Amino acid sequence: MLEIKNLHASVGDKPILRGISLTVNAGEVHAVMGPNGSGKSTLAQVLAGHPAYEVTAGEVYYEGENLLELDAEVRAQKGVFMAFQYPIEIPGVTNAYFLRSAYNEIRKARGEDEVDPMDFLDVMEEKLQLVHMSDDMLQRSVNMGFSGGEKKRNEILQMAVLDPKLAILDETDSGLDIDALRVVAEGVNAMRRPDNATIVVTHYQRLLNYIVPDFVHVLAGGRIVRSGGKELALELEAKGYDWLTETTAA
Amino acid sequence: MSSSIETLINKEYQAGFETDIEADTIAAGLTEETVRIISAKKHEPEWLLDWRLKAFRRWQTMTEPHWPNVTYGPIDYQAISYYSAPKTKKPLGSLDEVDPKLLETYAKLGIPLTEQKFLAGVAVDAVFDSVSVGTTYKEELAKLGIIFCSFGEAVREHPELVRKYLGSVVPYSDNFFASLNSAVFSDGSFVYVPKGVRCPMELSTYFRINASGTGQFERTLIVADEGAYVSYLEGCTAPKRDENQLHAAVVELVALENATVKYSTVQNWYAGDAEGNGGVYNFVTKRGKCAGRKSKISWTQVETGSAITWKYPSVILQGDDSVGEFYSVAVVNGKQQADTGTKMIHIGKNTKSNIVSKGISAGQGNNSYRGQVKVLPKADGARNYTQCDSMLVGNRCGAHTFPYIEVGNNTATVEHEASTSKIGEDQIFYLKQRGLSAEQAVSMIVSGFCREVFKELPMEFALEAQQLLGITLEGSVG
- Residue B455 falls inside a structural domain: no
Mean pLDDT of chain B: 84
- Residue B7 falls inside a structural domain: no
What is the nearest CA distance from A216 to chain B, expressed in angstroms? Answer: 25
When mean pLDDT is compared over A185-189, B203-207, B265-269, the highest value belongs to A185-189
- Residue B238 falls inside a structural domain: yes
What is the nearest CA distance from B92 to chain A, expressed in angstroms? Answer: 44
Domains of chain A (ranges, CATH numbers): 2-249 (3.40.50.300)
Q: Do A101 and B425 touch (CB under 8 A)?
A: no
Query: pLDDT at position B105, please?
Result: 61
- Residue B4 falls inside a structural domain: no
B16-30, B96-110, B231-245: segment of lowest average pLDDT = B96-110
Prediction ipTM score: 0.95
Q: Do A87 and B430 touch (CB under 8 A)?
A: yes
Q: Do B425 and A52 touch (CB under 8 A)?
A: yes
Total of domains in chain B: 1
Q: Do A104 and B3 touch (CB under 8 A)?
A: yes
Q: Do A82 and B433 touch (CB under 8 A)?
A: yes
- Residue B456 falls inside a structural domain: no
Greater pLDDT, B455 or A219: A219
Nearest to A72 among B424, B432, B447 (CB): B432
Query: Three-state SS string across chain B, please?
Result: CHHHHHHHHCCCCCCCCCCCCCEEECCCCCCHHHHHHHHHHCCCCHHHHHHHHHHHHHHHCCCCCCCCCCCCCCCCCCCCECCEEECCCCCCCCHHHCCHHHHHHHHHCCCCCCCCHHHHCEEEEEEECCEEEEECCHHHHHHCCCEEEEHHHHHHHCHHHHHHHCCCCCCCCCCHHHHHHHHHCCCCEEEEECCCCECCCEEEEEEECCCCCECECCEEEEEECCCCEEEEEEEEECCCCCCEEEECCEEEEEECCCCEEEEEEEECCCCCCCCCCCEEEEEEEEEEEECCCCCEEEEEEEECCCCEEEECCEEEECCCCCEEEEEEEEEECCCCEEEEEEEEEECCCCCEEEEEEEEEECCCCEEEEEEEEEECCCCCCCEEEEEEEEEECCCCCEEEEEEEEEECCCCCEEEEEEEEEECCHHHHHHHHHCCCCHHHHHHHHHHHHCHHHHCCCCHHHHHHHHHHHHHHCCCCCC
The pLDDT of residue B461 is above 60: yes
Query: pLDDT at position B349, please?
Result: 98
- Residue B377 falls inside a structural domain: yes
Over chain A (250 residues), the average pLDDT of each successive run of 10 is: 96 93 96 91 96 95 96 96 95 93 94 89 88 88 92 93 96 87 90 95 89 94 92 85 63
- Residue B465 falls inside a structural domain: no
Nearest to A48 among B433, B451, B452 (CB): B433
Choosing among B431, B437, B451, B453, which should be mutated to test the A contact, i.e. which has the most A CBs within 10 A?
Answer: B431
Residue B289's domain comprises 15-439
- Residue B452 falls inside a structural domain: no
What percentage of chain B exceeds 90 in pLDDT?
50
